[in-house]
Structure 1
């Protein structure tokens, strides 16, 4: 079968462990983007196998089931938090007073259009407002300052694709990573605009990214401590946990990671204040 961009494939050399989309074909080499994992790789044309239709359908059902499970876990956590706050408010306020919630402004910049679309759909299901922007990883440092000033977000997500290559150096060297250096520079620029870690919450990184450099650059949360692959939707659950944690409470890092697909091997961060704020009284507008 003739290879074409957009096809779902696996690699013979890696025992078909990860499903990729063909991003580009250049002679005898293909550039691959993980279909669900934020991983970028390349392979010889004769190393890729096109996924049969039956395998694609089966895989889609499994992924959908996994995504729904994570979504249900998050909704349960959110409901418990909401019930707790409702009880506190009833003790403090008259019964006829209604509260309103201030929405959190999220800017999600992604180096993959399909991942961005999936993430925006999940943000919407979780009731969050988001400005989504597609920007290739190598253009992130060029565009960051302009976007930050324009949107002025409270939460910033900078992600896309990445990968560590042993042939290019040790895991301590940023030069050995495909796109970590772009993520790091983008984080530095964003943090220069908002130095306070609780003024602008930043998630940055992708599969196998250099976690330590991203944290040192100013990210609150990043990937990947054990240089493992992360799921395309993992950043959304981190954002949602921060957005729905009351601003007088700290976001417990373990609690943040609990509902992600990857967990602490692929994601990490530091204590951060929540952003969920309510006020009163609620006034209806015509």
Structure 2
């Protein structure tokens, strides 16, 4: 079978559950192996050519349509909640505060550091669609711990996303062993370095992790939200839905964990966290006049 870099494949041993793109090809003891990045899930894997099934364009398009339907559903649910929050803000800024003028809102600013340039572009498109101010930086997972301090000093975000690819390998250790994970230790180190800059959990809200990441270590390191409690795969766009809820929740309100997770594509098996304050701030008045 002819498999090349950038081909879309699935693994026979996993019944083709996840589509991957081939990003590298290696040879070990005469056996060809492909390094795989999940097409829609933040998963990295190695697989011999004998375990790979090349996916034709028709099947790829069919799966893509199915994934888009899930994304659209999550987006609709989020926008419904956003509209309810806006109505609440309208009341508090008008009759609630006895003010009849205009007001403005400042959603939380996001720094999204991603180990996959393709996923980063998809996430930035969704941030823009939702209306969240964001700076996106592509960075290899292994380099994140040494670069995160400088990035925080430069961008000064309210919310930090640390993500990319990860995976757990039972041949390398048990689920409690960080060395059995591809990049969890790098994510943990990055969170710890970020907390050296901003220690307060509500002054810098952190999401960290990818597919099958060591959830408990990330939370202990200082993340507010992380993946993956049940060591399952998470969708590429899940971090965006997590931080969107935080970005558009007023800073005087606490966010219950389930309120953050319910509109994600993965849910509580792949994502979890701790109670956190929102970061949205409302101000007034808003001057609609412009200088000629």
Q: TM-score, normalised by structure 2?
A: 0.95
Shift in CA distance, 103/276, structure 1 to aligned 2, threshold 3 Å:
closer
Extract structure 1 runs of 4+ deviating beyond 6 A: none
Among 258, 262, 266, the alignment partner of 1:258 is 262
Distance in 2, Cα, partners of 1:135 & 1:246: 31
The answer for the alignment partner of 2:102 in structure 1 is 98
Secondary structure at the aligned position of 1:23 is classed as strand
Quick one: which of 123, 137, 159 aligns to 2:163? 159
Task: Give the C-alpha shift of residue 104 in structure 1.
Answer: 2.1
- Cα distance in 2 for partners of 1:146, 1:246 equals 28
- Structure 1 equivalent of residue 196 of structure 2: 192
Which whole-Å CA distance do the structure 1 matches of 2:53 and 2:41 have between them?
18
User: Residue 168 of structure 1: SS of its match in structure 2?
Assistant: coil
**Residue from 117, 125, 132 that aligns with 1:128:** 132
Match of 2:235 in 1: 231
Distance 2:156 2:111 in 1: 8
Corresponding residue number in structure 2 for 1:278: 282
Partner of 1:167: helix, strand, or coil?
coil
Query: What is the aligned counterpart of 2:153 among 127, 141, 149?
Result: 149
The CA distance in 2 between the partners of 1:80 and 1:178, in whole Å, is: 40
Q: Equivalent residue for 2:118?
A: 114
SS at match of 1:79: helix
TM-score, normalising length: structure 1: 0.97
Q: Is the 8 A contact 2:107 2:248 kept in 1?
A: no
Q: Counterpart of 2:37 in 1: which secondary structure?
A: strand
Matched with 1:5 is 5
Shift of 1:46: 1.9
Long gaps (5+) in structure 1:
none
Per-residue CA shift, 1:16-73, capped at 9, x if unaligned? 1111111111130100011111111000012111101110111111111111111000
**Residue equivalent to 1:79:** 83
> How many equivalent residue pairs?
285
Question: CA separation in 2, counterparts of 1:4 and 1:126?
Answer: 36
List runs of 5+ in structure 2 lacking aligned partners: none
- 1:181 maps to 185
Cα root mean square deviation, aligned: 1.0
Evaluate the alpha carbon distance shift between residue 78 and residue 103 of structure 1 in structure 2; reply closer, same or farther with a 3 A threshold.
closer
Q: Distance in 1 between matches of 2:84 and 2:107?
A: 19
Displacement after TM superposition at 1:159 (Å) = 0.2
Q: What is the aligned counterpart of 2:246 among 242, 249, 253?
A: 242
CA deviation map 1:260-285 (0-9, x unaligned): 01111110000111011111111245
What is the DSSP-based 3-state SS (H/G/I as helix, E as strand, rest coil) of the residue aligned with 2:137?
strand
